[in-house]
Amino acid sequence: MTTRDLVLIALFAAITAVLGLFPALTLPLTGVPVTAQTLGVMLAGSLLGARRGGLALLVFLVLVAVGLPLLAGGRGGAAVFAGVTAGFLFSWPIAAWLIGWLTEKTWERYNLWRAVAINIVGGIVLVYAGGIAWMVAVAGIPLDKALYGSLPFIPGDALKVAVAAAAAIALRRYQQHPLGHPA
Amino acid sequence: MNLSLYQPGTSPVHRLHAVWKLAGLFAAGIAVLLTESPLLLAIGLASVLACFMLARLPLGAVLRQALPLFAVLAVFFAAHAIFTSPELGTILVLRFATIIGCGLLLTLTTKVSDMMAVLERALRPLALFGINPAKISLVFALTIRFIPVLADTWMSVRAAQQARGLGGNPLALLVPVTIQTLRRADQIAEAIEARGVEL
Amino acid sequence: MISLEQVNATVPGRTVLKDVTLTLRERRIAVIGANGSGKSTFARLLNGLVRPSSGRVTVDGVDTAKDAKAVRRLVGFLFQDPDNQIVMPLVEEDLRFSLKALKLDRPEEDAAIERILSRFALGHLREQPSHNLSGGEKQLLALANILLRAPRYLVLDEPTTLLDLRNRRRVMEAIDALPETVICVTHDLEIAAGYERVLLLEDGRVLDDGPAEAVIARYRSMAE
């Protein structure tokens, strides 16, 4: 990895943190805050590619774990990884990696609709799969209940998918190819 | 901007080395899975609370972090009481509360720099796989260094876009901030190279 | 002595510097010219951040294209934006980061940090987050970082452009006091006026080269 790669990883971890400074909306009943931070997941993946994007989110989570209050609402520390909804957090680096990988694979044919589709796969399907699997396996919530409980978040996340895809398209001429050679 | 949850203090909990506190957190994580007895779990939770008393932390700082987590637990308990059984809900809530409490205690009584030092030691064996621990440390330091810088960028772009009547458009914010960040990345990388630091 | 022999430099798609041959040995050299004239690329050639596409740049006989590491030890580089040159969260950590390559032991590092901070009257900021510094203090910290490695030459790329008047003066005073050779790329003709030799770049070529007064007069006449 070049110095520039290391800097990009750090700055996208930092962007994800800055996105958390937005006021977080907490949905009624379930208490899961809707954050703009999944925008960071999708941006890191689609702009940095699989390796650097995934690492950016991993760095972000490690800093949260060691005690920086970087999650929306100023939360942080080891405790948040023990919560009922920690599965969503754990899936962020994997989602960024997957979005990056799919972006790299479709780089020559990348357009808004592919960007949307990729963000749905990584930013919604994978994140929810991780979050729900954790609720079922660790917190013992029945699958159907975990599923219904997560549904109210879909509209917010769909909006973020669209925003992140449009941003990725607009930013395409400012970025290098995720695999390293110029666009 | 305060980028740390650490609450200064001189209690035995504060003075305990970060390694032991981390070890305690992991031990607690395993211990709560070894029993289903609500009584034993309650004793575990009570001893975590006793550690909080020992640490003499400001109540406000504790509650600010604890309340959102425990609000989720309350909903979680209600869900279990309705859909499965209150007994199972009790056991699970006690388990979660104990681990969350341990994590919170660790975070509130340990400096980020001490945690980073432990992390860097733990990552040192990665050198065997050709991963340079100095690079990892640099990435963490850069992230902490640039969060407030990017927050400033964010606020100045937001002010500019509001002045142009684009305040409600997330793209008008996200795109310029990201462009500035990508440019900044090039300049930072250049400056690190110019400083002649060998990683 | 830094010398450029028939140097061309390109960025993807265009030639930024064309056939530049120069010998730099004065203690204070300013480089002026319009935006896009090639000033920044010229500065970056001097410490190997940009390599010539043809020709040769040598610093005290060391070829920048062959031994970038040695060249960077000889030539320190100060950038325009102070924020992007500071990589560590705390002032002290940032200085220590620069010292890493020198492989000193801890007390030697501490002493070096103490010395450089007091030289720029920044001692009280040692344990502060670098983000809390003013623009001028940040630029002085960046300068301190460079000087810790005791370079013979300092290349400054518009070091005061982003600073307010007070901070600009503070940084300029610090630079004026440096015993090292300084090559300063600047839009600030007041700075250039005090220098021994001024280079005027235009469209990638050295249009004029000589004492400050004459070269600045020519630059001013071009704008009219």
Q: How far is CA B13 from the centre of its chain?
A: 18
Are the C-beta atoms of residues A24 and A72 closer than 8 Å to each other? yes
Q: Which B residues in the span 162-191 are in contact with C, Cβ-Cβ below 8 Å?
A: 184, 187-188, 190-191
Mean pLDDT of C97-103: 86
Q: How far apart are CA A34 and CA A22, in angstroms?
A: 10
**Contact across the interface for B184 and C84, Cβ inside 8 Å:** yes
Percentage of chain C lying above the pLDDT 70 cut: 100
Q: Give the closest residue to A160 by CA, choosing from A106, A115, A130.
A: A115
Q: Which A residues in the span 4-63 are in contact with B, Cβ-Cβ below 8 Å?
A: 4, 6-15, 17-18, 21, 29-33, 39, 43, 47, 55, 59-60, 62-63
pLDDT in tens, B50-106: 999 999 999 998 998 888 888 888 888 888 888 888 888 899 899 989 988 998 999
Q: Is the pLDDT of residue C140 over 80?
A: yes
Using CB atoms, pick whichever of B138, B144, B196 lies closest to residue C72. B196
Measured between beta carbons, the chain C residues lying within 8 angstroms of B151 are: none
Mutate which of A29, A66, A84, A135 to disrupt the B interface (most B C-beta within 10 Å)? A66
**pLDDT for the residue A180:** 47
Q: Residues with Cβ < 8 Å from B194, sequence gap 6 or more?
A: C47, C49, C72, C76, C77, C79
Q: Is the pLDDT of residue B2 over 80?
A: no
What ipTM was predicted for this assembly?
Answer: 0.91
Q: How far apart are CA C56 and CA C151, in angstroms?
A: 21
CATH number for position A50: 1.10.1760.20
Measured between beta carbons, the chain B residues lying within 8 angstroms of C89 are: 141, 144-145
Measured between beta carbons, the chain C residues lying within 8 angstroms of B142 are: 87
A155 contacts chain B (CB < 8 A): no
* A/B interface, count of CB pairs below 8 Å: 190
Are the C-beta atoms of residues B11 and B55 closer than 8 Å to each other? yes
Residue C75 lies in a domain: yes
**Contact across the interface for B75 and A175, Cβ inside 8 Å:** no
Reported confidence tier of residue C137, pLDDT bands at 50, 70, 90: very high
B188 contacts chain A (CB < 8 A): yes
Q: Which of A7-11, B6-10, B146-150 has the lowest mean pLDDT?
A: B6-10
Mean pLDDT of C149-155: 94
Residue C115 lies in a domain: no
Residue A182 lies in a domain: no
Residue C22 lies in a domain: yes
Write out the H or E segment, with its range, that includes residue C5.
Answer: strand C2-11
Q: Residues with Cβ < 8 Å from B129, sequence gap 6 or more?
A: none
| Cα-based torsion angle of the residue sequence B52, B53, B56, B58 in order, rounded to the nearest 10 degrees | 70
**Contact across the interface for B196 and C130, Cβ inside 8 Å:** no
**Contact across the interface for A63 and B144, Cβ inside 8 Å:** yes
Measured between beta carbons, the chain A residues lying within 8 angstroms of B44 are: none
Percentage of chain C lying above the pLDDT 90 cut: 77
Q: Is the pLDDT of residue B169 over 90?
A: no
Measured between beta carbons, the chain C residues lying within 8 angstroms of B195 are: 72, 85, 97-98, 145-146, 149
Using CB atoms, pick whichever of B138, B145, B191 lies closest to residue C79. B191
A neighbours by CB contacts (3+ pairs under 8 Å): B
Using CB atoms, pick whichever of B29, B69, B149 lies closest to residue A83. B69
**pLDDT for the residue B90:** 92
Q: Is the pLDDT of residue B36 over 90?
A: no
**pLDDT for the residue A34:** 61
Mean pLDDT of B142-158: 91
Alpha helices (H) in chain C, listed in sequence order: 39-45, 68-74, 91-99, 106-119, 135-147, 165-176, 189-193, 212-223
Domain span holding position A21: 3-174
A77 contacts chain B (CB < 8 A): yes
Q: Give the closest residue to A17 by CA, choosing from B62, B118, B110, B154.
A: B154
Reported confidence tier of residue C95, pLDDT bands at 50, 70, 90: very high
> C224 vs chain B: nearest CA distance in angstroms?
33
Reported confidence tier of residue B120, pLDDT bands at 50, 70, 90: confident
Q: Which C residues in the span 123-142 are in contact with B, Cβ-Cβ below 8 Å?
A: 129-131, 142
Q: Which of A98-107, B168-177, C193-202 has the lowest mean pLDDT?
A: B168-177
Using CB atoms, pick whichever of C72, C76, C87 lies closest to residue B188. C87
Q: Give the closest residue to A178 by CA, choosing from A107, A122, A92.
A: A107
Q: Is C191 helix (H, G, I), strand (E, B) or coil?
A: helix
Residue A183 lies in a domain: no
Measured between beta carbons, the chain A residues lying within 8 angstroms of B174 are: 39, 43, 163, 167
The string of DSSP codes covering B74-109 is HHHHHHHHHHS-HHHHHHHHHHHHHHHHHHHHHHHH
Between these two residues, A24 and B112, which has the higher pLDDT value?
Answer: B112
Residue C104 lies in a domain: no
Using CB atoms, pick whichever of B138, B193, B195 lies closest to residue C145. B195
pLDDT in tens, C40-72: 999 999 999 999 999 999 999 999 999 988 999
CATH number for position C54: 3.40.50.300
Instruction: Pick out chain A residues at pLDDT < 50.
Output: 24-28, 179-183
Quote the number of domains for chain A: 1
Q: How far apart are CA C83 and CA C134, in angstroms?
A: 10
**Contact across the interface for B65 and A139, Cβ inside 8 Å:** no
B neighbours by CB contacts (3+ pairs under 8 Å): A, C
Q: How far apart are CA C209 and CA C197, in angstroms?
A: 7
B33 contacts chain A (CB < 8 A): no
Measured between beta carbons, the chain C residues lying within 8 angstroms of B117 are: none
Domain span holding position C68: 2-88+152-223
**Contact across the interface for B138 and A59, Cβ inside 8 Å:** no
Using CA coordinates, name the residue in chain C closest to B190: C49
pLDDT in tens, B129-138: 888 888 898 9
> A105 vs chain B: nearest CA distance in angstroms?
22
**Contact across the interface for B151 and A43, Cβ inside 8 Å:** no
- The pLDDT mean for chain C works out to 92
**Contact across the interface for B149 and C83, Cβ inside 8 Å:** yes
**pLDDT for the residue C185:** 96
